[in-house]
């Protein structure tokens, strides 16, 4: 009797286990497409947000750096990467710049801050920042209200103007803010104004580089329209940034002719920078990327 009961119980357990397995398989087969669709939806939403954040950041915080292409890599229902290929335009010469590999998942996108931040070269004779992948020197801006910078404020105009047969970019920082009209009167016509330095955090830079971002825009197509776009972008970008909010409060409704600019990124043939040597409106000049002129590529100026 006991043997028959045990056999019946074992048979019932096997049947129940089989039912459970079958039910689980059916549930999994039903849920997998739903999970896949849901995962892809949230991953796509996060990737779109990261795409937008990357373009927004480059529009206002990457002097003379262009996005050449931006594509999704290693994509899955759980997330993936966005690869951003970038370059600089140095007076008609395209110079490579670091590639970003940013990541996203269902809930958040993370810009590749490691490659955005420059490397530092520091020795007894030299101190400068460089792009980690291309190893090109980074052109730096210096805020007129920050009185003391670590290692001082360089003026490299004499050195760059002595380079023969090259094109270069130079970040020129002013001794005080100027309007665009005042700047255009001071900058020679044979140099390109490719970026306007508008604002950055005022911090202690005397003990070492604080690594604070600078904000500005490219005025080359239509300066006034570009400024209005910059203000709109800055509003979206800096909702929680007190410095940005203070800048917007002071400038949002100001007449464009009265908007003050702290510096400019210039590109041109190295010989054309000589005209800016010893000009008293220039506090500092930092050379960035350079390229040798070749016969088959004509400089823009």
Residue 113 CA to its chain's centroid (Å): 9
pLDDT of 74 reads 85
Instruction: Say which residue, 202 or 107, is predicted with more confidence.
Output: 202
pLDDT of 252 reads 85
Q: What is the pLDDT of residues 88-123, one digit of tens each?
A: 999 999 999 999 999 998 888 899 999 999 999 989
Mean pLDDT in residue range 37-63:
85
Output the CA–CA distances (angstroms, integers) from residue 231 to 60, 115, 216, 259, in the order listed: 9, 26, 10, 12
pLDDT of 7 reads 61
Q: Is the pLDDT of residue 164 over 90?
A: yes
Q: What is the pLDDT of residues 231-270, one digit of tens each?
A: 999 999 988 899 999 999 999 888 999 999 999 999 999 9
Instruction: Say which residue, 10 or 225, is predicted with more confidence.
Output: 225
Q: Is the pLDDT of residue 5 over 60?
A: no
Q: Is the pLDDT of residue 67 over 90?
A: yes
pLDDT of 27 reads 62
Mean pLDDT in residue range 183-195:
97
Q: Would you kindly state where each structural domain of the chain is located, as residue ranges?
A: 118-292
What token pair was written down for 32?
Answer: 């997998």
What token pair was written down for 249?
Answer: 């409060």
Confidence of residue 75 (pLDDT cuts 50, 70, 90): confident
Mean pLDDT in residue range 2-30:
64
Average pLDDT across the chain, whole number: 90
Output the CA–CA distances (angstroms, integers) from residue 134 to 156, 211, 287, in the order listed: 21, 19, 15
Say how far apart CA 168 and CA 271 lie, in whole Å: 10
Q: Is the pLDDT of residue 3 over 80?
A: no
pLDDT of 40 reads 58
- Cα atoms found within 13 Å of the Cα of residue 100, Cβ hemisphere only: 30
Confidence of residue 192 (pLDDT cuts 50, 70, 90): very high
């Amino acid at each position: 009797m006991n043997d028959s009961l045990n056999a019946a119980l074992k048979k019932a357990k096997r049947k129940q286990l089989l039912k459970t397995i079958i039910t689980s398989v059916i549930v999994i087969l039903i849920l997998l497409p739903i999970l896949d669709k849901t995962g892809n939806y949230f991953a796509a939403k996060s990737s779109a947000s990261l795409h937008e954040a990357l373009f927004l950041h480059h529009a206002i915080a990457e002097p003379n750096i262009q996005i050449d292409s931006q594509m999704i890599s290693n994509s899955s229902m759980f997330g993936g990467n966005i690869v951003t290929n970038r370059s600089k335009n140095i007076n008609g010469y395209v110079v490579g710049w670091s590639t970003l590999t940013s990541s996203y998942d269902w809930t958040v996108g993370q810009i590749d801050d490691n490659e955005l931040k420059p490397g530092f070269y520091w020795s007894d004779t030299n101190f400068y920042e460089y792009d980690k992948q291309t190893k090109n020197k980074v052109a730096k801006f210096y805020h007129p209200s920050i009185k003391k910078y670590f290692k001082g404020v360089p003026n490299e105009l004499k050195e760059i103007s002595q380079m023969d047969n090259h094109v270069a970019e130079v970040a020129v920082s002013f001794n005080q803010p100027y309007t665009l009209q005042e700047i255009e009167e001071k900058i020679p016509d044979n140099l390109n104004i490719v970026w306007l330095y508008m604002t950055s955090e005022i911090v202690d830079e005397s003990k070492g580089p604080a690594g604070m971002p600078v904000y500005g825009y490219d005025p080359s197509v239509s300066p006034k329209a570009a400024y209005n776009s910059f203000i709109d972008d800055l509003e979206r970008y800096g909702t929680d940034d007190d410095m940005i909010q203070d800048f917007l409060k002071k400038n949002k409704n100001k007449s464009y002719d009265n908007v003050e600019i702290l510096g400019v990124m210039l590109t041109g043939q190295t010989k054309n920078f000589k005209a800016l040597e010893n000009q008293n409106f220039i506090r500092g000049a930092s050379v960035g990327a350079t390229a040798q002129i070749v016969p088959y590529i004509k400089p823009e100026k």
